[in-house]
Amino acid sequence: MTKLKYENGIAFMRDSFVPFKEANISIASSPVLYGLAVYTVFSLNWNDVEGKLYAFRLPDHYKRLVNSAKIMGFDSFAKKWPYEKFEKTMLELVRQNNIQEDALVRISVFVDAVIAGTKITGLPVALSAFVYPLGKILNPKGIKVCVSSWRHNPDDVIPNRAKVNGAYVSNCLMKNEALQNGYDDAIALDHNGHVTEGTVANLFIVRNGKLITPSVSSDILEGITRASIMEIAHDLKIPVEERMVDRTELYIADEAFICGSSARIVPILSIDKRVVGSGKIAGKIGPIASKLAEKYLAAQKGTSKEYKEWRMEVK
């Protein structure tokens, strides 16, 4: 089996499938100059036993892309790209790249204009997409994180509910600060001092057997993996609570983990050099996170019959 090399693969750009190296935009374009684009990333999961590839929750990623475009005023996207066309195009992109491993598809909707200034309304928008290997953006066995000195964008500045490319500048500053100080990643606070999420993933903690995550009104991304984890937890009879989370709760959590399409589920071993958990599970993946991770991966890869409505076979 040939390993995926995205730089030698096929991308989708505007209205055509093209070699990845030809999928380019102008240095004077609105996405380059002002970050005027929204995106989503969905996972492709290879089942070795069946020899099948599954796309995970593609309709939900489309819906979030539409919502992000609507928030940003990219009004023509939903009209130009109904779901049926979107699904057909994304599956064909995957087929053209002959994927037989875990991978990701990153899709962007961008203002396709040159030297247009900060204007959005009335400008043309286009879609691009490419496939790349899943890789390991964070150690799946566990990470050490800090609470960032950089604050998360509030909804009335750059809304995190819309997955806006330009908004991730602040996330990059958080990540860079964490790496410079010897951590693997960072957790952001909002401007009221409440916990939001990591730099590339949503956050969960466990306290007294209850799964807790910041609410969607806490300036977080409405994550698709996050929603999946909450549904799995519900089915496992694990209590779930969405609410504001204080920084000090991170320090006394029994377990903590982040989750996302790129990261999957990654346990947090320490926060600000305070070990997460106590006793035998101190600084290790906890039982609830472990159980959720196992169920989530099985749902993605189709190794169990549960949650079959979440996955779509790429034929």
What digits encode the pLDDT tens for the residues 213-230? 999 999 999 999 999 999
- Is residue 73 predicted with pLDDT exceeding 90? yes
- Is residue 255 predicted with pLDDT exceeding 70? yes
Both tokens of 231, joined, read 């549904």
Return the percentage of the chain with pLDDT > 70, whole number: 99
Asked whether 307 and 235 are in contact (CB, 8 A), the reply is no
Query: What value does the mean pLDDT take over residues 95-103?
Result: 96
d(CA 170, CA 178): 12
Asked whether 161 and 38 are in contact (CB, 8 A), the reply is no
- Is residue 119 predicted with pLDDT exceeding 90? yes
Q: Which helix (H) or strand (E) holds 171?
A: helix 168-180
d(CA 5, CA 220): 32
Buried/exposed 140-167: b ≥16 CB within 10 Å, e otherwise: eebbbbbbbebbbbebeebbbbbbbbbb
Query: What value does the mean pLDDT take over residues 277-299?
Result: 90
Task: Identify the band that residue 2 occupies on the pLDDT scale cut at 50, 70 and 90.
Answer: low
Both tokens of 3, joined, read 């390993």
Q: Give per-residue pLDDT as tens, 151-201.
A: 999 999 999 999 999 999 999 999 999 999 999 999 999 999 999 999 999
What local confidence, expressed as pLDDT, does residue 1 receive? 47
- Is residue 283 predicted with pLDDT exceeding 80? no
Domains of the chain: 6-133 (3.30.470.10), 143-301 (3.20.10.10)
The alpha carbon of residue 220 and the mean position of all alpha carbons in its chain are separated, in whole angstroms, by 11
- Is residue 248 predicted with pLDDT exceeding 70? yes
What local confidence, expressed as pLDDT, does residue 279 receive? 73
User: What rounded mean pLDDT belongs to the chain?
Assistant: 96
Task: Identify the band that residue 49 occupies on the pLDDT scale cut at 50, 70 and 90.
Answer: very high
